[in-house]
Amino acid sequence: MTDNKVDINRLKIVLVEKKRTGKWLAEQLGKDTTTVSKWC
């Protein structure tokens, strides 16, 4: 469980570092924005 939480926190960090949004990530992955928002 802890590893998953760390991975999710890493997603948030990378998005901020790359100046990307959750919406952008959702589009790249072909996922719904609400799904991605649950991750980060």
Residue-wise pLDDT tens digits, 16-33: 999 999 999 999 999 999
Domain count within the chain = 1
pLDDT of residue 5: 67
pLDDT of residue 2: 63
Structural domain for 17, as ranges: 2-39
**Are 10 and 2 spatial neighbours (Cβ–Cβ below 8 Å)?**
no
pTM of the predicted model, to two decimals? 0.71
